[in-house]
Structure 1
Amino acid sequence: MKVAVLGCGAIGEVVARALAGGAVPGADLIGVVHRDPADPPGLPVIDTAAAVRGADLVVECAGHAALAATAPEVIAAGGDLLVVSIGALTDDDLLAALSAGPGRVHLCTGAIGGLDVLRAAALMDGGPERVTVTTTKAASALLPDRPAPDGPVELFRGTAREVAARFPRSTNVVAAVALATGRWDVVEAAVVADPAATLTRHVIEATGPSGDYRIEIANRPSERTPTTSAITPYAVLRAVGDLAGAPAVLR
Structure 2
Amino acid sequence: MLKVGLIGYGSIGKDVTKYIKDGKVEGVTVSLILLRNKETYNNLPANDILHTDNEEEFFNSDLDIIVECAGHQAVYQYAVRSLSSGSHFITVSVGAFADEELLNSVREAALKHNRKLILPSAAIGGLDRIAASTFQQIEEVKLITRKPPEAWRGTIAEDKVDLDNIVEEHIIYEGTAREAAKLFPQSTNVSAAISLAGIGFEKTKVQVLVDPKVTSNTHKIVAKGFFGEVELTIQNTPSANNPKSGYIVAMSICKALSDFTSPVVIGV
Please indicate, yes or no, whether the TM-score normalized by the shorter chain is above 0.5: yes
1:140-219 matches, cutoff 5 A: 140-143=150-153, 146-219=163-236
Aligned partners of 1:13, 1:247: CA distance in 2, in Å?
Answer: 27
Instruction: Please state if 1:8 is matched with 2:25.
Output: no
Aligned partners of 2:128, 2:146: CA distance in 1, in Å?
Answer: 23
Q: What one-letter code is carried by the residue in structure 2 that aligns with 1:57?
A: I
- After superposition, the Cα gap between the structure-2 partners of 1:123 and 1:248, relative to the gap in structure 1 and judged at 3 Å, is closer
Aligned to 1:38: 41
Aligned partners of 2:123, 2:45: CA distance in 1, in Å?
Answer: 27
Aligned partners of 1:9, 1:38: CA distance in 2, in Å?
Answer: 10
- After superposition, the Cα gap between the structure-2 partners of 1:26 and 1:229, relative to the gap in structure 1 and judged at 3 Å, is same
1:1-251 matches, cutoff 5 A: 1-35=2-36, 37-38=40-41, 40-42=44-46, 43-46=49-52, 47-54=54-61, 55-101=63-109, 102=113, 103-124=115-136, 127-143=137-153, 146-245=163-262
- After superposition, the Cα gap between the structure-2 partners of 1:210 and 1:23, relative to the gap in structure 1 and judged at 3 Å, is closer
Deviation of residue 247 (structure 1)? 5.6
Could you list the per-position Cα deviations for residues 198-223 of structure 1 after superposition, in whole angstroms to 9, with x for gaps in the alignment? 01110000112221111111111111
Could you list the per-position Cα deviations for residues 103-153 of structure 1 after superposition, in whole angstroms to 9, with x for gaps in the alignment? 3211111022211111111111xx311111000001121145643312101
SS at match of 2:60: helix
Answer with 20-29 or 105-114: which moved more. 20-29
| TM-score, length of structure 1 as denominator length | 0.92
SS at match of 2:220: strand
SS at match of 1:108: coil
SS at match of 2:219: strand
Q: What one-letter code is carried by the residue in structure 2 that aligns with 1:53?
A: N
Residues 57 and 79, structure 1, Cα contact 8 Å, conserved in 2: yes
- After superposition, the Cα gap between the structure-2 partners of 1:58 and 1:246, relative to the gap in structure 1 and judged at 3 Å, is farther
Residues 141 and 227, structure 1, Cα contact 8 Å, conserved in 2: yes
Answer with 35-44 or 150-159: which moved more. 35-44
Residues 139 and 148, structure 1, Cα contact 8 Å, conserved in 2: no
Aligned partners of 2:36, 2:107: CA distance in 1, in Å?
Answer: 27
Aligned partners of 2:264, 2:16: CA distance in 1, in Å?
Answer: 18
Aligned partners of 2:133, 2:91: CA distance in 1, in Å?
Answer: 23
Residues 141 and 199, structure 2, Cα contact 8 Å, conserved in 1: no
Aligned partners of 1:48, 1:21: CA distance in 2, in Å?
Answer: 27
Count of residue pairs brought into register by the alignment: 247
Deviation of residue 79 (structure 1)? 1.6
| TM-score, length of structure 2 as denominator length | 0.86
Residue identity over aligned pairs, in percent, reads 30
Aligned partners of 1:246, 1:17: CA distance in 2, in Å?
Answer: 23
Deviation of residue 66 (structure 1)? 1.1
Aligned CA-pair RMSD: 1.8
Residues 64 and 86, structure 2, Cα contact 8 Å, conserved in 1: no
Could you list the per-position Cα deviations for residues 146-195 of structure 1 after superposition, in whole angstroms to 9, with x for gaps in the alignment? 43312101110111101011100001111111011042111000111111
